Amino acid sequence: MDYSLLDGINSPRDVKNLRPEKLKDLAEEIRMKIIETVAVNGGHLAPNLGVVELTIALHRALECPKDKIVWDVGHQCYVHKLLTGRRGQFETLRQYGGIAGFPKRSESPHDVFDTGHASNSLSVALGLAEARDKRGGDEAITAVIGDGALTGGEAFEALNQIGHHGTKLVVILNDNEMSIASNVGALSHYLARLRLDPVYSRFREGVEEGLKKIPAIGEHLFEVGKHVKESMKALVVPGMIFEELGFRYIGPIDGHDIEELELNIRLASQSNKPVVLHILTKKGSGYAPAELEPDRFHGTPPFERENGKAKKGSDVPTYTEVFGDTVIELAKTNESILAITAAMPSGTGLDAFAAAYPERFYDVGIAEQHAVTFAAGLALGGYLPIVAIYSTFLERAYDQLIQDVCLQGLHVVFAIDRGGIVGEDGPTHHGAFDLSYLRHIPEMVVMAPMDEAELRQMLYTATNLKGPVAIRYPRSKGVGADLAQPLTDLPVGQAEIIREGSDVCLFAIGRMVKNALATADLLAGRGVLASVVNARFAKPLDEEAISWAAKNHELIVTVEDNSVVGGFGSGVLEVVSSRRLKREVLCLGLPDEFIPHGPIDRLHADVGLDPKGIASFVMGRLDKARGGVKEEDRSINIVAEI
Ligand SMILES: Cc1ncc(C[n+]2csc(CCOP(=O)(O)OP(=O)(O)O)c2C)c(N)n1
């Protein structure tokens, strides 16, 4: 591929210096570069292909980094990265040690805010704009938000305050009618009407003149007064919702026309009021497979560039797939089951359920807080809601978990996908905290399966309990476990001893059980006999099993793919302390820092959660306890010893 134009872009200044007739070719080169790179590294393809022209226009119209662009979610920042001095590193996108797939302030002064979670760009932009005004600055502040992210409550909260203050800033509403899947909600219908009805556009200029011309009504209308006039205007003025909230509305305009975009961004930036610039784009634009399947190419693993086909992996199902299939199986016999997603039907595996039981499925938009409280209402009304949300996004709904579900002991099942390290999406997406933020909530039962077969049993068990239940599982293929076992209830709060030794007890939870078993093999090779316990429950903890471990081993080692602070291991320490068990405990988990992006196995190895790392921690601790320190003590993760 010829990248002669892109190769000359080292900063936004070079984009400005390009002759307008060259811009289409630049857009083409950018598209090719992104397709080529994402086909190898995986990443957010379709959102980026949709904003190529927008990003070029932004960097021509604005003076970055003095002017600020805040990208909502940030998954669409690849073009921005290419145009702001990171072209040379672009091939390292999302790779270990390479540039991130999201904006990172540490990477470039052009990245204004570290993002990954949706719907917060307007709040950030307002903060920046208010700070500018207080300081007496004159930089332009622009937020770019998708129609999907606009369904998030935080965005509404910010619109409300921006309109109140009338702060000068620009909101670019990138409307492609898609969240990850098709966008949902009443606002989305409103935007669709703006898109489609040419009457709106015709009336935009000089609406009052237009109204006056309506025979018999027009003239009269303007005498009746402002109130009626405004409500009539609402019928015909595009973007009236935004106008009513205190914004100027411009649009809808073609989001793939660089010249028109540039002109309108300049215009919007000159306004003294907040402006919503509504642009229409196509997700996946310029790459046929992504245009056809924007959902699949929203975030994609590596694929064949020529035809977009997925690269063949193993046939073992993912935890997500097993969850999706099991919910369908359970719903067949349990008619009270309803399923809820917050804008992630395929990501959570609920797309198959949605197809099988459309009337029992809810996509509430990017609205995790609402999803949880909505589930509380459904539970109150006699249904059994299963709320499937990624660990990292459920952080949004912490208050709702406590107040609206657990405080009232409601039977809501939380299927928490992407628990633990997730890989290339990095720190905004790692599910590092769920065991910590769930474990201390009264009433909550918290489980984590050691394999995909146990996930099925846990889901079944959860549907038979009475109060709030959470099951957290990782983003990965299963281990190839037998999925044909009949569904049976697991005894709540009971761990499972799966290997018995006499020196060390490895007390592991979730996918770390597999690593603990491999560690036990490594330790055996060094003459150390290890027991392995599959904890199953982070709450309630199996106190008897912990007592057994304390009585029969020199050392208890807890292993979890969760922050070591306040996690499962902390719970074990609490039991050891409250039962006065007098046994040394080594807690291994994710260290008290944000973990970068990279392959899951590599990141686990970095923090010592691979079998080699765990064995090394154990040997270090045993050697110390036994007198001679033979190995370097790498136990950075120890939070306490008893
Ligand atoms: C709080 C939160 N929930 C869910 C997600 C997952 N997510 C990432 S992008 C996205 C859809 C965004 O749609 P839109 O804003 O329209 O942007 P587009 O990808 O269409 O450009 C979702 C649901 C997230 N990043 N943050």
196 C-alpha vs ligand 1 centroid, how far in Å? Answer: 23
Q: In a mutational test of the pocket of ligand 1, which residue from 113, 150, 180, 430 has the highest number of ligand atoms less than 8 Å from its CB? A: 180
Q: 473 φ, ψ to 5°?
A: -145, 160
Instruction: Report pLDDT for 417.
Output: 98
Instruction: Report pLDDT for 188.
Output: 83
Instruction: Report pLDDT for 209.
Output: 57
Number of CB atoms found within 10 A of residue 368's CB: 29
Q: Is the pLDDT of residue 639 over 80?
A: no
Structure token digits, residue 201: 């556009």
Residues 43 and 633: their CA atoms lie apart, in Å, by 37
Q: Is the pLDDT of residue 4 over 50?
A: yes
Residue 185 pLDDT grade (very low, low, confident, very high; cuts 50, 70, 90)? confident
Residue whose CA is at the smallest distance from ligand 1 atom 11: 179
Q: Topology of 496-625 in CATH?
A: Rossmann fold (3.40.50)
66 C-alpha vs ligand 1 centroid, how far in Å? Answer: 27
Number of CB atoms found within 10 A of residue 281's CB: 25
| Per-residue pLDDT reduced to its tens digit, 370-407 | 999 999 999 999 999 999 999 999 999 999 999 999 99
Which atom belonging to ligand 1 lies closest to the Cα atom of 344? 23
Mean pLDDT of 505-511: 98
318 C-alpha vs ligand 1 centroid, how far in Å? Answer: 22
Q: 168 φ, ψ to 5°?
A: -70, 110
Across-strand partners of 617? none
Q: Do domains 319-472 and 496-625 have the same CATH topology?
A: yes
Residue whose CA is at the smallest distance from ligand 1 atom 4: 366
| Per-residue pLDDT reduced to its tens digit, 41-87 | 999 999 999 999 999 999 999 999 999 999 999 999 999 999 999 99
Instruction: Report pLDDT for 626.
Output: 80
Axis crossing angle, helix 452-464 with helix 319-333, rounded to the nearest 10:
40
Choice among 368, 424, 454, 584 that is catalytic: 368
Instruction: Given CATH 3.40.50.970, say whether it is the number of domain 319-472.
Output: yes
**Nearest C-alpha neighbor of 35 from the set 287, 374, 252, 227:** 287
490 C-alpha vs ligand 1 centroid, how far in Å? Answer: 36
580 is catalytic: no
Structure token digits, residue 475: 């983003």
Q: Cβ(171)–Cβ(143) under 8 Å?
A: yes
Mean pLDDT of 478-488: 96
Which atom belonging to ligand 1 lies closest to the Cα atom of 178? 20
499 is catalytic: no
Helix (H) or strand (E) holding 39: helix 23-41
Which atom belonging to ligand 1 lies closest to the Cα atom of 428? 25
Which atom belonging to ligand 1 lies closest to the Cα atom of 175? 16
Q: Which residues line ligand 1 (CB under 6 A)?
A: 47, 50, 73, 75-76, 117-118, 146-149, 174, 176, 178-180, 283, 298, 342-344, 366, 368, 393, 396
Choice among 60, 104, 396, 439 that is catalytic: 396
Q: In a mutational test of the pocket of ligand 1, which residue from 45, 151, 154, 179 has the highest number of ligand atoms less than 8 Å from its CB? A: 179
Residue 634 pLDDT grade (very low, low, confident, very high; cuts 50, 70, 90)? very low
Q: In a mutational test of the pocket of ligand 1, which residue from 121, 172, 366, 395 has the highest number of ligand atoms less than 8 Å from its CB? A: 366
| Per-residue pLDDT reduced to its tens digit, 106-163 | 999 999 999 999 999 999 999 999 999 999 999 999 999 999 999 999 999 999 999 9
Instruction: Report pLDDT for 212.
Output: 58
Choice among 60, 68, 283, 475 that is catalytic: 283
283 C-alpha vs ligand 1 centroid, how far in Å? Answer: 13
Residue whose CA is at the smallest distance from ligand 1 atom 17: 146
Q: Cβ(450)–Cβ(511) under 8 Å?
A: yes
Average pLDDT, the chain: 92
Q: 468 φ, ψ to 5°?
A: -70, 135
Which atom belonging to ligand 1 lies closest to the Cα atom of 429? 25
Across-strand partners of 39? none
Mean pLDDT of 248-267: 95
**Nearest C-alpha neighbor of 395 from the set 116, 144, 182, 178:** 116
DSSP 251-318: EEEETT-HHHHHHHHHHHHH-SS-EEEEEE--TTTT-HHHHH-TTTTTSB--B-TTT-PBPP--SPPB
Q: Which residues contact 35 (CB under 8 A, 6 or more apart)?
A: 45, 49, 287, 305
DSSP 413-453: EEEEES-B---TT-TTT-B-SHHHHHHTSTT-EEE--SSHH
Amino acid making up residue 443:
E
568 C-alpha vs ligand 1 centroid, how far in Å? Answer: 30
612 is catalytic: no
Which atom belonging to ligand 1 lies closest to the Cα atom of 50? 21
Peptide bond into 198 cis (omega under 30): no
180 C-alpha vs ligand 1 centroid, how far in Å? Answer: 6
Q: Indicate the CATH number of 6-292 among 3.40.50.970, 3.30.470.20, 3.30.1330.10, 3.30.1490.20.
A: 3.40.50.970
Number of CB atoms found within 10 A of residue 66's CB: 11
| Per-residue pLDDT reduced to its tens digit, 313-332 | 889 999 999 999 999 999 99
Query: Distance between alpha carbon 568 and the CA centroid of its chain, in Å?
Result: 23
Residues 225-251 as b or e (16 or more Cβ within 10 Å = b): eeeebeebbeebbbbbbbbebbbbbbb
Q: Which residues contact 336 (CB under 8 A, 6 or more apart)?
A: 382, 383, 384
143 C-alpha vs ligand 1 centroid, how far in Å? Answer: 15
| Per-residue pLDDT reduced to its tens digit, 519-576 | 999 999 999 999 999 999 999 999 999 999 999 999 999 999 999 999 999 999 999 9
Q: Is the pLDDT of residue 167 over 70?
A: yes
Which atom belonging to ligand 1 lies closest to the Cα atom of 366? 3
10-17, long-range: CB within 8 Å, 24+ apart, which pairs? 10/85, 10/87, 11/83, 11/84, 11/85, 12/59, 12/60, 12/62, 12/63, 12/64, 12/83, 12/84, 12/110, 15/56, 15/59, 15/60, 15/83, 16/59, 16/60
343 C-alpha vs ligand 1 centroid, how far in Å? Answer: 8
- Give me the residue spans of the domains in the chain: 6-292, 319-472, 496-625
Q: Is the pLDDT of residue 176 over 70?
A: yes
State how beta strands 584-590 and 445-447 pair.
Answer: unpaired
- The radius of gyration of the chain's CA atoms, rounded to the nearest angstrom, is 27
| Per-residue pLDDT reduced to its tens digit, 191-230 | 888 777 644 443 444 545 554 565 555 555 445 444 544 4
**Nearest C-alpha neighbor of 146 from the set 267, 289, 298, 264:** 298
